[in-house]
A and B are shown apart, each in its own frame.
Chain A
Amino acid sequence: MQGFNTLLYKECLRFWKVGFQTVLSPVLTAVLYLLIFGHVLEDHVQPYPGVNYTAFLVPGLVMMTVLQNAFANSSSSLIQSKITGNIVFVLLPPISYREFYAAYVIAAVLRGAMCGLGVLLVSLPFVSFNLAEPAWIVAFTLLGGAFLASLGVIAGIWADKFDQLAAFQNFLIMPLTMLSGVFYSIHSLPAFWQGVSHFNPFFFMIDGFRYGFFGVSDVSPWTSIGVVTVCFVVLAVITLQMLARGYKLRA
């Protein structure tokens, strides 16, 4: 257990030591989105009755930040360790593959949650909320963060070069988050694209998370939590299988 605790601590210390890059930068990026989109669309869009656009936008940006940073943390830590070779320091000790997985995923979720909390706190002067169902907020933060953290572990282990990881991030993670309803309610989309959105697991993460704020969502939060749970479990099983086989880590 001590090995797991130390690896978790090290992963947290790693991102905390470069907090400007890993925590403050994503918060600033999200706040810029908030200011620009909120300013441009505030008077033109009302996604839900009684909810103005800026208030609607904030939970989406918070969750997007959680997801992107959870992915970034586990993937960048692993690929850096692989490329510099210091991955041996965590492969030589008696740490099981389950402990290895748990440490990377929990640290990534923590970073994602910290960044998300940062976005939420900075947005408070612009919007006011009554948190309708806080338990859903916590549940989607943890499950969505863990889903992306697992995806980050897979990407970090699979990628041999930084540009492969960048491709993973830019051609998969970024489009899926941008097209998940962060900036709009899918009810504003044509029927075809509404249907397509239901194949994007990120949509359910954002929608369920937003339900925690307003008590209103495009689909039932139970459906969303079910989809996100199944997606996470599938990814967790795949990632654990990769680690158990030592894929690209143990020759």
Chain B
Amino acid sequence: MSPAIRIAGVTKRFRSLQALAGVDLEIAQGEFFGLLGPNGAGKTTLISSLAGLARPDSGTLEVMGHDVVRDYRAARMALGVVPQELVFDPFFTVREMLVLQSGYFGLKKNDAWIDEILHHLDLTSKANANMRMLSGGMKRRALVAQALVHRPPVIVLDEPTAGVDVELRQGLWHFIRKLNRDGHTIVLTTHYLEEAETLCGRIAMLKAGRIVALDTTANLLQRFASHALKVKLAAPVVLPAELAAKATRQEGAELEFGFDRFDEVAELLAGIKSAGGTIVDMALGTPDMEQVFVGIMNQN
């Protein structure tokens, strides 16, 4: 079985900017994959190359085994892209736009599937409204609908929840998860790291056009993040050197320690007590993708 996406040795330069500096990546069919990175890391350029919107200087890209240049028709049929920008055609209604988009992909009678998409994205009542009349969140969902009209096996969402309120975001993820359960491969870029952590089985992190981390979400969390113990003392104390070395943050009476095993917590609390500290508040923090992201970006 060919991978959903295969990227090999892809480079792309925009004048003096090396947007992609040799990217190799394989995403298996059925994965929920996260592509993370700071602004300008090359995420959108990589997606654009995959979608045929940008032409790499070297390297090859395949979607479901189809080369995006040589076999572009099959590659594009297999790919649905939700662009980052909130773009729309002001001449058409939501339904007209979806019918047109179906036609571009060679589909004549697609009304049943269009109705289903509209229903799942809560857009049925807006089907005959002009795109200009929709709120930002609705326009975003209409863009998702457009990417799905031809039932692509691979769906790329480039920051789909930017500017979308919590309720709509949850509805959107519910639908995208359903698509993933139904067998669609999902590739997600987002700046909401908790979304990537919750949804993605595997994550790649890009920096300056290179993949600097690629692993399962669980492995990344295990390797690059630790649990945190946050304590607030009645008054600042001077910690012994051994304990101070374990502190990841100390601001006055507030301390933070990183640990990997829970039995370390008792040792930390005992150390604080023997240093004369009186704990007035305490919280445990779980490892999160933000720690992983910051850690990896700082390393590279």
Q: Among A2, A86, A93, A246, point to the contact of B88 (Cβ < 8 A).
A: A86
- Interface contact A93-B53, CB-CB below 8 Å: no
Taking the closest CB of chain A, its distance from the CB of B110, in whole angstroms, is: 11
**B75-100 near A? 1/0 per residue, CB < 8 Å:** 01101010101011111100011001
- Interface contact A250-B104, CB-CB below 8 Å: no
- A251 to B52: give the CA distance in the assembly, Å: 9
- A95 to B106: give the CA distance in the assembly, Å: 9
- Interface contact A84-B83, CB-CB below 8 Å: no
For the residues of A in contact with B, the DSSP-based class is helix
Given A89-B146, A92-B52, A250-B55, A84 and B90 touching (CB < 8 A)?
yes
B239-267 contacts to A (CB < 8 Å): none
* CB nearest to A87 among chain B residues: B87
Contacts of B45 in A (CB 8 A): 251
Given A6-B100, A86-B89, A92 and B53 touching (CB < 8 A)?
yes
- Show 21 residue pairs from A and B whose CB-CB distance is below 8 angstroms, ordered by the A residue: A3-B105, A6-B103, A6-B104, A13-B96, A84-B89, A84-B90, A85-B85, A86-B88, A88-B53, A88-B83, A92-B51, A92-B76, A93-B76, A93-B104, A94-B106, A95-B104, A250-B53, A250-B54, A250-B55, A251-B45, A251-B48
Q: Among B52, B102, B146, point to the contact of A250 (Cβ < 8 A).
A: B52
User: Does A28 have its Cβ within 8 Å of any Cβ on chain B?
Assistant: no
B interface vs A, CB < 8 Å?
14, 45, 48, 51-55, 72-74, 76-77, 79, 81, 83, 85, 87-92, 96-97, 100-108, 146, 150
Taking the closest CB of chain B, its distance from the CB of A23, in whole angstroms, is: 15
Contacts of B150 in A (CB 8 A): 93
- A92 to B54: give the CA distance in the assembly, Å: 11
Taking the closest CB of chain B, its distance from the CB of A246, in whole angstroms, is: 6
Please list the 6 inter-chain residue pairs (A to B) with the smallest Cβ-Cβ separation, ordered nearest first: A6-B103, A93-B104, A85-B87, A94-B73, A251-B54, A2-B106
- Interface contact A89-B101, CB-CB below 8 Å: yes
What would 9 more interface pairs be, CB under 8 Å, given A85-B87, A94-B77, A95-B104?
A6-B100, A10-B103, A13-B91, A88-B87, A91-B52, A92-B52, A251-B45, A251-B53, A251-B54
User: Does A44 have its Cβ within 8 Å of any Cβ on chain B?
Assistant: no
- A70 to B228: give the CA distance in the assembly, Å: 67
Contacts of A9 in B (CB 8 A): 100, 103
- A7 to B103: give the CA distance in the assembly, Å: 8
- Interface contact A3-B87, CB-CB below 8 Å: no
Taking the closest CB of chain A, its distance from the CB of B200, in whole angstroms, is: 23
- A92 to B78: give the CA distance in the assembly, Å: 11
Chain A contact-residue range equals 20 to 34
A interface vs B, CB < 8 Å?
2-3, 5-7, 9-10, 13-14, 17-18, 81, 84-86, 88-96, 246, 250-251
* CB nearest to B131 among chain A residues: A86
Contacts of B55 in A (CB 8 A): 246, 250-251
* CB nearest to B90 among chain A residues: A84
Taking the closest CB of chain A, its distance from the CB of B182, in whole angstroms, is: 22
Contacts of A93 in B (CB 8 A): 76, 101, 104-105, 150
- A85 to B89: give the CA distance in the assembly, Å: 9
Taking the closest CB of chain B, its distance from the CB of A95, in whole angstroms, is: 6
- Interface contact A7-B87, CB-CB below 8 Å: no
- Interface contact B76-A94, CB-CB below 8 Å: yes
- A6 to B108: give the CA distance in the assembly, Å: 9
- A95 to B48: give the CA distance in the assembly, Å: 16
- Interface contact B107-A2, CB-CB below 8 Å: yes
- A95 to B53: give the CA distance in the assembly, Å: 13
- A91 to B51: give the CA distance in the assembly, Å: 9
- Interface contact A10-B100, CB-CB below 8 Å: yes
Taking the closest CB of chain A, its distance from the CB of B29, in whole angstroms, is: 20
- Interface contact A251-B14, CB-CB below 8 Å: yes
* CB nearest to A10 among chain B residues: B100
Taking the closest CB of chain A, its distance from the CB of B297, in whole angstroms, is: 25
Contacts of A18 in B (CB 8 A): 91
- A2 to B105: give the CA distance in the assembly, Å: 8
- Interface contact B89-A89, CB-CB below 8 Å: yes
Taking the closest CB of chain B, its distance from the CB of A126, in whole angstroms, is: 35
Contacts of A86 in B (CB 8 A): 87-89
Contacts of A250 in B (CB 8 A): 52-55
- Interface contact B104-A3, CB-CB below 8 Å: yes
- Interface contact B91-A92, CB-CB below 8 Å: no
Contacts of A251 in B (CB 8 A): 14, 45, 48, 53-55
A5, A14, A88: most-surrounded residue (chain B CB, <10 A) = A88
- A246 to B14: give the CA distance in the assembly, Å: 15
- A81 to B85: give the CA distance in the assembly, Å: 13
- A88 to B54: give the CA distance in the assembly, Å: 11
Contacts of B89 in A (CB 8 A): 81, 84, 86, 89
Contacts of A85 in B (CB 8 A): 83, 85, 87
Q: Among A2, A13, A94, point to the contact of B108 (Cβ < 8 A).
A: A2
Taking the closest CB of chain A, its distance from the CB of B95, in whole angstroms, is: 13
- Interface contact B103-A3, CB-CB below 8 Å: yes
